[in-house]
Amino acid sequence: MNLKQLAHMLALSQTTVSRALNGYPEVNEETRRRVMDAAKRHGYRPNPSARRLATGKTGMIGYVLPTGASVDIDPHFVEFLSGLGDYARSHELDLVLSPADADDQETTYRRIVANRQVDAVYISSPRPADRRVALVNTLGIPFIVHGRSEGFDFDYAFTDIDNEGAFREAARLLIQLGHRRLALINGDDRETFAIHRERGVRRALVASGLTLAERHVCSVDMTEENGYRATRRLLEEDDAPTAIACSSLIMALGVVRAVRDLGLSIPGDVSLIAHDDVFPWLRPENFSVPLSTTRSSIRLAGARVAERLAARISGLEEGARGEVWPVDLVVRGSVAGAPG
């Protein structure tokens, strides 16, 4: 059932039927009702390919997925996706993932924009002066950055969490508990979120006349194994830190294992606070010693990004508004006063 048939069946022109269906004003309400009714009854659904060709609108949002044999997709992605999908569903939006060589995403961005394959895109895990952000900005497609980039001569729309504030508060708590030597086990420090977290810890220390020793900050891919290795290295040196801030729950698993392997205990010998993106399958309260966390649901962020993308597509949202969400500090058993 296509428009032509429907129009013929109603003894109307395609124009009128199209307009009636799309809510244009220049059609009699009575006629519109008839059309709507017939459309529903016959299960008419406009062919998206045709509509696309005519309007350029696709009803899809895009994400360029970096791939490659040695490229691992972050497990956070799936949670973000849950939120995004949940919102997108209610608005009949689909998400298209365009796989790209991790080292050459630009080609793919250009392709999806040139081909008008999607109405908007989002960018995640941005770095300072991220080229993707600059690119989509000049390409002129609506976009939202999940996280923040920095160092541009233009503004852009983003949704981020207050990573700096979160880690500042976490560090401050540890300092208040008497800790003087803090360590940070961070994610890839080329990414903005990691930079912000480090800054948060640094500022809290500086505010108390302390410093974050270079050798006490690790920047690694967020795997269990890396959490373990970093912790061993930290705790085996002289002047080992008495408290650790850690950028992910997965790494925290490794931290806990390392502490135990060294015959030490949490929080007796070392206090631990980790960032929790809220996974359904791994919860901080279920660690052998319940984990204190800075908590922010990445799923909610996904939903919010979808919401903003939808708003931009439909023209409801404009401008370069960035929003920064506060992060909860949840104190559980893994922190205590500094030993000794």
Partner DNA sequence: AGAGTCTTCCAAAGCGCTTTGGCCTTTTTG
Partner DNA sequence: CAAAAAGGCCAAAGCGCTTTGGAAGACTCT
Binding site residues, its own copies, CB under 8 A: 45, 47-50, 52-53, 56, 58, 60, 65, 67-69, 71-75, 77-79, 81-82, 85-86, 88-89, 93-101, 111, 114-117, 221-225, 228, 250, 253-254, 257, 260-261, 279-283, 286-288
Decide: helix, strand or coil at residue 145.
strand
CB of 119 to DNA, least distance (A): 13
Interface with DNA, residue 14, by CB under 7 A: yes
What would the two tokens of residue 268 be?
């007796």
Structure token pair of residue 293: 């966390």
The interface with DNA within residues 252-271 (CB under 7 A) comprises none
Q: Is residue 58 a contact residue for DNA (CB under 7 A)? A: no
Nearer to its own copies, 214 or 286 (CB): 286
Q: Which option in its own copies, DNA, none does residue 257 bind, with CB closer than 5 to 8 A by kind?
A: its own copies
Q: Of its own copies, DNA, none, which one sits near residue 225, judging by CB under 5 to 8 A according to partner kind?
A: its own copies
Bridge-based pairing of strands 292-295 and 328-330 is antiparallel
Q: Binding of DNA at residue 9 (CB under 7 A)?
A: no
Q: 76-112: b or e for each residue (b if 16 or more CB lie within 10 Å)?
A: bbebbbebbbebbeeeebebeebebeeeebeebbeeb
Considering the complex, what minimum distance in angstroms separates the CB of residue 32 from DNA? 7
The residue among 27 and 230 lying less far from DNA, judged by its C-beta, is 27
SS3 241: coil
- Cα-based angle 258, 252, 226 (whole degrees, multiple of 5): 65
* 300 binding partner (options its own copies, DNA, none; Cβ < 5 to 8 Å by kind): none
Question: Which residue stretch of 52-60, 101-109, 259-267, 285-293 sits at the interface with DNA (rule: CB under 7 A)?
Answer: 52-60
Q: Which of 27, 145, 175, 218 binds DNA (CB under 7 A)?
A: 27
| Residue 113 lies near DNA (rule: CB under 7 A) | no
Candidates 28, 176, 208, 314: give the one binding DNA (CB under 7 A): 28
Q: How far is the CB of 118 from DNA (least distance, A)?
A: 17
Structure tokens at 166: 């979160």
d(CA 270, CA 242) in angstroms, rounded, equals 5
Check binding of 117 to DNA (CB under 7 A): no
Residue 207 touches which of DNA, its own copies, none (Cβ within 5-8 Å per kind)? none
In eight-state DSSP terms, residue 86 is: H
Q: How far apart, in Å, do the first and last CA atoms of the chain sit? A: 79
Task: Specify the DSSP class assigned to residue 46.
Answer: -
> Quick check: helix, strand or coil at residue 180?
coil
Residue among 37, 42, 50, 206 that touches DNA (CB under 7 A): 50
Angle between helices 105-114 and 131-139 (to 10 degrees): 20
- The piece of 53-61, 65-73, 90-98, 283-291 that touches DNA (CB under 7 A) is 53-61
**Separation of alpha carbons 240 and 220, rounded Å:** 19
Q: Does 55 bind DNA (CB under 7 A)?
A: yes
What, of DNA, its own copies, none, does residue 26 touch, CB below 5 to 8 Å by kind?
DNA
The residue range among 46-54, 246-254, 278-286, 309-317 that interacts with DNA, by the rule CB under 7 A, is 46-54
Alpha-carbon span 283 to 276, nearest angstrom: 8
Calculated CA dihedral for residues 123, 168, 72, 226, nearest 10 degrees: 170
* Local structure of residue 214 (DSSP, 8 states): G
Residues 181, 239 contacting (CB under 8 angstroms): yes
Judged by the rule CB under 7 A, the positions of this chain that interact with DNA are 2-4, 11-16, 18-19, 21-22, 26-29, 31, 44, 46-47, 49-51, 53-55
